[in-house]
Amino acid sequence: MSLLCKHFILGLLLLLTAQVFAAKEAKELPPLDPKFMGIHPMVLVNNGSDILASYLPSYQAPKNHQLVYKLKVKDVALVQLVRDGDFITIEPKPFNLQRLMRGESISIKADVYIGHYKRGGTLTYKSKELSFDRKLYHRTLVELAPSGKMQEYDAVNLGKNYKLLIHKIQKAPSFDHLLVIDAVAGCLLKFNTSSATPKESELHYKFFHCGTIKPLYYETQDFSG
């Protein structure tokens, strides 16, 4: 048997072994909890050509989750809409949120709105197919810190020196806040503000020394108590 043939057979065996292990891991995933089935609205934001979907959480289970995903988008028109629009939200068809919580790559259909889907937004795309590619962040809103002036952020590496900063929502009143910075050296992720729900401009000033800032999303109404 030639050396080339041996290499081919070895490569084929390795591929088959990997597929067997992948199938085994997939089968070992626990059943989906039906309580997470429902309509799970999100806001779409962009970092360059990348589109991120951030879940619009509430304090009430089972929707008490901060969750950010990177989408796989081939539709140039959608990329332009998110890039140029001030505020883009989606209202997906019912699906089980637990699939995203555990990091699955899935496709769903969603109505896309310019503006807030529940606050007078304009329906732009009906039943648009969106591919959720990679989980970037997940935090369950349980055992929250008391509402206060001390704010804390988590940082997620987006590559090329970009960091996604996500405010850790506290007990009401609090706020949801996402922004991207292009450097993190010397950047404080825990600091005091003038109130439990400071203006967005005050928060941006706190990150002034971090590098270039790209605001993505800021919301207080849903966390007023």
Sheet holding 213-219, edge to edge: 190-192, 150-159, 162-167, 176-181, 213-219
Q: What is the pLDDT of residues 145-194, one digit of tens each?
A: 999 999 999 999 998 889 999 999 999 999 999 999 987 667 899 999 99
pLDDT at 39 over 90: yes
pLDDT at 10 over 70: no
Domain residue limits, the chain: 31-142, 144-225
How far is the C-alpha of 138 from the C-alpha of 164, rounded, in Å?
13
List all residues 6 or more positions away from 164 whose beta carbon is below 8 Å from its beta carbon: 47, 52, 68, 136, 137, 155, 156, 157, 158, 178, 179, 180
SS3 37: strand
pTM, two decimal places = 0.86
Q: What is the number of other CB atoms lying within 10 angstroms of the CB of residue 199?
A: 13
The residue-averaged pLDDT of 221-225 equals: 92
pLDDT attached to residue 181? 92
Average pLDDT, the chain: 90
How far is the C-alpha of 60 from the C-alpha of 180, rounded, in Å?
28
Q: What is the pLDDT of residues 104-116, one digit of tens each?
A: 999 999 999 999 9
The residue-averaged pLDDT of 37-57 equals: 96
